[in-house]
Structure 1
């Protein structure tokens, strides 16, 4: 009992951690010893993942963006050994799935930027949904295989690929300030997504917000993580706080309220009570996916088999136009009592004007090669 922090101190530590402060800064602000803060942060961070598992399931999010946030644990990747890399040290990417337009973080996963981490992340995303989404990601090559194995080829999946070049050559060190003569290309991987609205801009904006709430993810500072479990706990705590307590300016409610998993804005005392009392909960199991109701012109197929919708493609061929009516023949010249020579073409005797129509003479005329025109 003597080692239990008072509730006011616990709230002060929680408020300092979710504002992105390091453990040493939190110690100076609250007067709580650093090791105590570390143990408390690890406990509520693991509880945050369980709290998220109890709430984030059976979701009907139809538009999802995914991206990865780079950081490192203990030291940069170039300095870690093979054993340390296997233990999770070095580069630690946070895979994030953001639902739009609610900004709800459906799931996250901390690991290496490889096929194993991408497959685990997409499988967890699939288990939390009950509606087939339209998914957009960056150009990470491991996504198509992971999305195909978890969602199948019926998902609408597109990738937004950024090309970082400098003087025609790729710049490998583009994490801090990429050279911005970029061009973005979009490509359809599965299904028929709306390529005009496919983007990762919102999840990239969310990455910047989370770097503020998670001090361990900031660049070029000494607040990086030294332990993998502490890093994962800090990430879980920050994303859970963002979903339940952060009010989005565009929607004026929290992301959890937008998707229907909460009916009010959570305050810090309520969040702390939930974190200290939630039981350990595993991730949900996958359930069948219902087809997503498309936007725009669509017709539902019988038996709940999906929708028949209009897909933007090439220009349809125009129907053949009706043939133009034949030109009406010119009216014959009115008969006159003039001599036959009056209807003969004017001009030089040896040349004909083929572009001017003239009525046929009543008297047959033979055109000689030489000399004057004479009737037969």
Structure 2
């Protein structure tokens, strides 16, 4: 599952029924969430990048009727805060792309870092209030605002999947004195690619999407626990948790799962 396989492909490879695999993944993911909540604390980060990545549960937002008030289906966003130096994922949250989710995400991030950090986000406006309410003036905060052009119109339906053309980007200082050279979201955007590559349910244009919100939350927690403690980062040559001083060795899956279940 952590290598990006779907439930059914895992079923074919292991000979274990998909319902059993799903129950095990959900139970393990919940344990990993609690493990990360306890373990990733007191992080001494200097530069933190935050971003949100889109996915959906059960059906896409456009397919939901206007009379349906169900927060657990439709569009969901994974908010991620990462240390730009150690590549440690400090905090994550699954929720709607709104002010409430932005606030809870920033509050959780604030509780996990030590000292004054430089924070960079995209131009999502609710971050402005969320950062002010959680960090106050104890942060060097800047937004990297990107400007996109019109989505290109292709023929034969190709334009439907085309990305909007990137035009320009500029930094906007919000609070403190952020270093201009460190105002960037490059590392967190690369983390978005890692998520899409390593979690089948995050892959676009497939039927591998999450059918329940708890399944998505469990898969996200399992991914980040493995990423932080077990997966050797290609450029660091160690795991992000080792680079951040949270552990002194590379964890194998047995250690991760046994520790999370304890």
Please, what TM-score do these two structures have when normalized by structure 2?
0.93
Give the corresponding residue for 1:208: 193
Long gaps (5+) in structure 2: 152-158
Please point out which of 228, 234, 241 is paired with 1:243. 228
Q: In structure 2, what is the Cα distance between the partners aligned to 1:93 and 1:261?
A: 27
The alignment yields a C-alpha RMSD, in angstroms, of 1.8
Deviation at 1:81, TM superposition (A): 3.7
Deviation at 1:25, TM superposition (A): 1.1
Q: 1:1-376, aligned counterparts within 5 Å? A: 17-81=1-65, 86-166=70-150, 177-277=162-262
After superposition, give the CA deviation of every residue in 1:153-183 in whole Å (9 maximum; x if it has no partner): 231000011111139xxxxxx9954233410
Q: In structure 1, what is the Cα distance between the partners aligned to 2:122 and 2:47?
A: 15
1:65 and 1:175, CA in 2 relative to 1: closer, same or farther beyond 3 A?
farther
The structure richer in helix per residue is 2
The structure whose RCO (Cα within 8 Å, separation 6+) is larger is 2
Deviation at 1:221, TM superposition (A): 0.8
Query: What SS does the aligned partner of 1:166 have?
Result: coil
Deviation at 1:79, TM superposition (A): 1.2
Deviation at 1:130, TM superposition (A): 1.9
Give the structure with higher Rg (CA).
1
Give the corresponding residue for 1:333: none
Query: What SS does the aligned partner of 2:182 have?
Result: coil
